[in-house]
Structure 1
């Protein structure tokens, strides 16, 4: 499971957004196709590094993942000044039909 979380961030670092989109649950991808997803959430930050910090699985089919990520902020704002930002990114992963997927609320 941690390998899939890392692979998704590796795709974001490579700016391979189609590959990153492919890690969302099948049900999410059924509701929101790639074109609508990328149009509604255009990539603003350029990820530079990422690594799995922690994985906790409260059940056999759900895990909470913390990723440590560094990215370039596209513009300066109070919450995120321009420049390199490092932060912990929380994610929820679920197992569907034997495979792990990133859970995304619509």
Structure 2
């Protein structure tokens, strides 16, 4: 019985150490920004403009309200699909390229375009840069 408790304790300790190690695994800026950019793209595809707005920088949100932001991304309503094509980073800036498939009211066929965005690192957090 005591032998089983020791095995269970060792297994439990191993799981805890493995879990903690996963928490401290560092990711590259490209991986982090790629994940954030995909989350934002997914929000736009789901027409969740409030969630997409949360990815903009604090400075942008302090000067542009959600109501004023929505018309800037209204074109995303016609987006059918999208994916991250590339993420390229230098120091505190990352450039993200998306490939988006969309349809307009006037053209009844799917079209594909490339969209480029810039992300900036502010105090260790990555944000979508908007003018």
Do the structures match in fold with TM over 0.5?
yes
C-alpha distance in 2, partners of 1:33/1:24? 11
| Residue of structure 1 in register with 2:15 after alignment | none
C-alpha distance in 1, partners of 2:45/2:58? 23
| Residue of structure 1 in register with 2:85 after alignment | 53
C-alpha distance in 2, partners of 1:24/1:62? 14
| Residue of structure 2 in register with 1:68 after alignment | 99
- The TM-score normalised by the length of structure 2 is 0.68
Q: 1:42 to 1:97 in 2, by over 3 A?
A: closer
Match of 1:88 among 93, 114, 119: 114
| Residue of structure 1 in register with 2:53 after alignment | 21
Name the structure where helix makes up a greater proportion of residues: 2
Structure 1 stretches of 4+ with a deviation exceeding 3 A read none
**Unaligned ranges ≥5, structure 2:** 1-32
**Unaligned ranges ≥5, structure 1:** none
Aligned pairs, number: 98
Matched, 1:41 2:72: yes
| Residue of structure 1 in register with 2:36 after alignment | 4
Q: 1:42 to 1:94 in 2, by over 3 A?
A: closer
Q: CA RMSD in A?
A: 1.6
Higher Cα radius of gyration: 2
